[in-house]
Amino acid sequence: MTQHIFINEVAARDGIQAIHTPINLAGKLALINACAAAGVQAIEACSFVSPKAVPQMADADELFAQLPDTDRIQYSALVPNLRGLERARAAAVQEIAVVLCATDTMNLRNIGLSLAQTIAMCIDTIHAAEQYGMRAKAYVSVAFECPYEGLVQASSVLDLCDRMIQAGASEIVIADTIGAANPRQVKDLIGECVKRYGAQRVSAHFHDTRGFALANVWSALEVGVRKFDTSIGGLGGCPFAPGAAGNVATEDVVLLTEQCGFSTGIDIAGLRQAIRVAEGLVGYPLGGRTRAWLDVQDKKQTGQKLS
């Protein structure tokens, strides 16, 4: 039986949060609708954070009320704390994500709290979400390397994962926030997570700063992971991590896994249309590692002359 790869499309949140050009509500809905039309089954729609900290997410409450295909698509929202959780609850969010950076300095730069304070805040938020009947997953960010403290010990990351699972997180997302991981590190760390929590409770989030994102996806696949965060056209970055490149491109992961015998239920042509929508919003070309090849396929299908 063909194994299914579960893609969580993050362009609408992680992809655009650091874009300086304001994207209005209609634009965000157009992007989400295009991803939905391509067959995406899960979408990180927004974050309920302070508008002063992340102005691009200021309309999260309005956005969630207008999301399409809510009976088919699993929507989630990032919440930083109990205040954000209350906003998410009021917007009828069913799945939330908390983010815990693996180092003290990154937490301080990101949200102005120490690692210990962030752990406590995440635990409180997960507990409250559980009481509200909401599913909560936990990201462990800069899980391989921190832009301020350097390499992160796997034992430290695993300790944080243990604490989030014990708090009630239904899923752990190991995030290579600045795109610094290599396939061997991915195999070791994420492989241990799979052993501890089971593959169904582990997801991976890669950025492509050093060009290793697809190789890291494959390494995670080899240890049993079947859930990945991706972003159409490689859109993304981290406003608090200098030099971080975009997320691994959805079309790259879909193409890789489908050609290797997995299924995603996502249509490449639909993704290409979603990328065009995203390009119109951000004002510059987008595309992952497979862009040039996909451009050639488009020309072949339309009968255009290849240059």
Residue 67: which of 105, 25, 130 has the closest Cα? 25
Report CA-CA distances (Å) from 234 to 179, 227, 255: 12, 17, 14
pTM, 2 dp: 0.95
pLDDT above 80 for 1: no
Strand partners, 231: 249
pLDDT above 90 for 244: no
Sign of CA dihedral 112, 113, 118, 120: negative
Report CA-CA distances (Å) from 239 to 110, 257, 285: 9, 29, 20
Domains plus CATH for the chain?
6-302 (3.20.20.70)
Percentage of residues in the chain with pLDDT exceeding 90? 85
Helix axes of 250-259 and 213-222: crossing angle, nearest 10 degrees: 40
Q: State the Cα torsion 239-12-76-65 to the nearest 10°.
A: 120
Percentage of residues in the chain with pLDDT exceeding 70? 95
* 28/243: higher pLDDT: 28
| CA atoms of 142 and 25, how far apart (whole Å) | 30
Question: Mind listing the pLDDT tens digit for each residue in 278-291?
Answer: 999 999 999 999 98
Burial of 90 per CB tally in 10 Å (0-12, 13-18, 19+) = exposed
pLDDT above 70 for 156: yes
pLDDT above 60 for 155: yes
What residues act catalytically?
Answer: 238
Rg (CA), the chain: 18
The arithmetic mean of pLDDT across residues 170-175, rounded, is: 98
